């Protein structure tokens, strides 16, 4: 795989299209040292960004929660995202808008730093091995927990919140798993390292944790809408790890993960059932702007 700093083409950087290799961030940028950085992850399907406006609105919300204003309008960022995928000729891939504090100040306080914005895009296939998306991925249970909601800006896509996700995923991979289930500060089921989680019970109903200390994903909300359109009952509630043994199906949702079935969480086994396959197929039709037959 080509390292991300060695790729070719352009990146939208502070309003201009800049050669990929010439986009530089100073080593003393506040965003690097103090995690004053927010970002989005967006998917391109057949040349169009799925739910672009919702992603951009969340980017601006994240920035405000982090105490800074993005120096562009939402419409300008939407246009820039469309421009960069056209420039890079990305038909099916990923878009990464990111905003961060610059290097004018190097201390905890950073009220007078410049806010930088960049948008990169690249062709990208499945987040997980395609074979695993059919058979189901395996999760361990992380030793790290999502922090309490009064300790972090939990409803943002801020870079610092992903530190324990990286630690958890590395831990899982060392143990032979694909990803990791994270619990919340109360010990209830929260999410995977970069995706929300759903469970199917014996009555063909879905259960998913209440997003009160972790991100309420755009894909999560989309899949809930799809499920309800199919008359599937969805319970948003607190879920104890002790309940995992009672569920028969499990899957993850996320912009990168899309709809990915889970075959096990630690010793708890799940089936890749018809409902999960159907939800995935309906999601794929939706993002590619096609109608079900």
CB-based contact 149:51 (threshold 8 Å) = no
What is the Cα–Cα distance from 191 to 146, expressed in whole angstroms? Answer: 9
- Homologous superfamily (CATH) of 130-287 is D-amino Acid Aminotransferase, subunit A, domain 2 (3.20.10.10)
Domain with CATH 3.30.470.10 in the chain: 10-123
Domain with CATH 3.20.10.10 in the chain: 130-287
Q: What is the pLDDT of residue 290?
A: 57
Q: Which CATH architecture fits 10-123?
A: 2-Layer Sandwich (3.30)
Q: What is the pLDDT of residue 130?
A: 79
Residues 268, 272, 273, 279: is their CA dihedral positive or negative? positive
Q: Tell me if residue 271 is catalytic.
A: no
Distance between alpha carbon 285 and the CA centroid of its chain, in Å? 20
> Per the residue annotation, which of 133, 138, 157, 200 is the catalytic one?
157
Residues 151, 155, 158, 160: is their CA dihedral positive or negative? positive
Each residue's pLDDT expressed in tens, for the chain with a length of 293 residues: 899 999 999 999 999 999 999 999 999 999 999 999 999 999 999 999 999 999 999 999 999 999 999 999 999 999 999 999 999 999 999 999 999 999 999 999 999 999 999 999 999 987 788 788 889 999 999 999 999 999 999 999 999 999 999 999 999 999 999 999 999 999 999 999 999 999 999 999 999 999 999 999 999 999 999 999 999 999 999 999 999 999 999 999 999 999 999 999 999 999 999 999 999 999 999 999 854 43
Q: How far is CA 59 from CA 97, 159, 190, 205, in A?
A: 8, 12, 22, 32
């Amino acid at each position: 795989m080509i390292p991300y700093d060695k790729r070719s083409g352009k990146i939208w950087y502070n309003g201009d299209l800049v050669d990929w290799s010439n986009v530089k961030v100073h080593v003393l940028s506040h965003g690097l040292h103090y995690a004053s950085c927010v970002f989005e992850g967006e998917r391109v399907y057949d040349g169009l960004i799925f739910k672009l406006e919702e992603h951009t609105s969340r980017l601006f919300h994240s920035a405000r929660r982090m105490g800074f204003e993005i120096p562009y309008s939402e419409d300008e960022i939407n246009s820039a995202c469309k421009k960069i995928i056209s420039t890079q000729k990305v038909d099916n891939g990923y878009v990464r808008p990111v905003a961060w504090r610059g290097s004018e100040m190097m201390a905890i306080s950073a009220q007078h730093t410049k806010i930088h914005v960049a948008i990169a895009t690249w062709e990208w296939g499945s987040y997980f091995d395609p074979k695993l998306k059919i058979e189901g991925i395996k999760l361990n249970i992380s030793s790290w927990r999502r922090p309490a909601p009064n300790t972090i800006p939990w409803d943002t896509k801020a870079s610092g919140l992903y530190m324990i996700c990286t630690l958890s995923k590395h831990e899982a991979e060392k143990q032979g798993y694909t990803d990791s289930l994270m619990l919340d500060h109360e010990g209830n089921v929260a999410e995977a390292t970069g995706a929300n989680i759903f469970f199917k019970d014996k009555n063909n109903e879905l259960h998913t944790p209440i997003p009160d200390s972790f991100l309420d994903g755009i894909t999560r909300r989309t899949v809930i809408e799809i499920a309800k359109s199919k008359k599937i009952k969805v319970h948003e509630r607190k879920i104890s790890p002790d309940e995992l043994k009672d569920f028969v199906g499990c899957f993850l949702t996320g912009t990168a993960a899309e709809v990915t079935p889970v075959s096990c969480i630690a010793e708890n086994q799940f089936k890749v059932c018809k409902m999960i396959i159907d939800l995935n197929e309906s999601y794929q039709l939706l993002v590619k702007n096609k109608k079900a037959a």
